[in-house]
Amino acid sequence: MTSRKLLLSAAMFVLAATPAFADATTEEYVRTNANDVLASLNAPGVTPENRRLQFQEYMDQFANLDAVAKFAIGKYSKRFDEEELDAYVASFRAYALAVYEYYFNAYKGKDVKVTGSTDRTTRDSIVDTKIVREDGEEMDVRWRVLNRGGKYQVVDIALNAEGNLIWLGIEQRAQFMSVLDKNNGSSAALINKIDSMTADLVSRRGTEALD
């Protein structure tokens, strides 16, 4: 199954939210950092490889990929030994960054606009945004942000896949847990699956991505 199909298969998953507005600091955190990520895609006079590395560096700082990686394997995060967990996290990070790059590259445009936000708890918020392309087309993106003692970080992103907003972390958890359950908790089987998904994204990204 392709990564696109995997994303679409999670359309039934949604995050429950209480009807309250997130604070302005959370919204500004998303707006500022998301615009920095997009700016890395538009940086002039930079080779495609350096642009990609800069984009990945921004995303790695903006989003807590280690936390998402552990969330995505549920109970198995306690069952893997240290070496297995390190190898899995490295594989996951490569895949997650490839996913973000694949989708955001298509919208490396003008601006990120915050359109609303919701507090799920006092430290857990959803921020709604639109990424505006140079041609005026807009893509909805939702960001789940945790506030740990004043330190903000994104722990999941809902991307628009053919009209459906898909929470990447939730989709990955469903897929990865299924692979592990079918393979007696084998970290090697999961890593092989993730690496093949990453390779598929890279091949579809092609040589023009981030050019």
Contact predicate 194/92, CB 8 Å: yes
Residue 87 φ/ψ, nearest 5 degrees: -65, -40
Contact predicate 42/196, CB 8 Å: no
Predicted local distance difference test score (pLDDT) of residue 61: 81
What is the residue type of 129? T
Give me the helix-helix angle, 48-62 and 82-105, nearest 10°. Answer: 120
Predicted local distance difference test score (pLDDT) of residue 151: 87
Any bridge partners for residue 114, and if so which? 129
Residue 64 φ/ψ, nearest 5 degrees: -85, 85
Which residue, 95, 102, 94, 198, is CA-closest to 159? 102
> 3-15+23-110+151-203: which CATH number, 3.30.420.40, 3.20.20.70, 3.10.450.710, 3.90.190.20?
3.10.450.710
Q: What is the pLDDT along the chain (211 residues), one digit of tens a residue?
A: 444 443 433 333 333 333 445 578 899 999 998 888 887 777 777 787 887 788 788 888 888 888 889 999 999 999 999 999 999 999 999 998 888 888 777 666 668 889 999 988 878 999 999 888 777 788 888 999 998 888 898 998 888 766 677 888 888 999 999 999 999 999 999 999 999 999 998 888 654 444 4
